[in-house]
Structure 1
């Protein structure tokens, strides 16, 4: 039984080394190609507000909390 376990562990270790080794039949000869965005695409401009009377939200005024009644 020990020999079977030892053989299995050895086989897994050998496969792991073979899968991770960097020795191949040569160097990697793949190339990459860059892509350009379509010419019709323009950067977006911020939308103008429809109503100029709107203001950004403001925080509530800081008022002290009332003292608890005793």
Structure 2
């Protein structure tokens, strides 16, 4: 899956408005930042590597799932 630059900009705006939902990779970048960067250089999403979920991210996911 590759994103166009317009799609990446929309996702970037969404990520900024949600604070990245608390997802961080091992370098402290949000998963959305990594997704956008990798998509712009046509790298496959499967090359993400591990993504760590912070407590804020867990709380946001739990709230979305209605727990």
TM-score between the two structures when normalised by the length of structure 2: 0.25
From the two aligned structures, give the one with the greater strand fraction: 2
From the two aligned structures, give the one with the greater helix fraction: 2
The structure that has the greater radius of gyration is: 1
Specify which structure has the bigger relative contact order, considering alpha-carbon pairs within 8 angstroms and separated by 6 or more residues.
Answer: 2
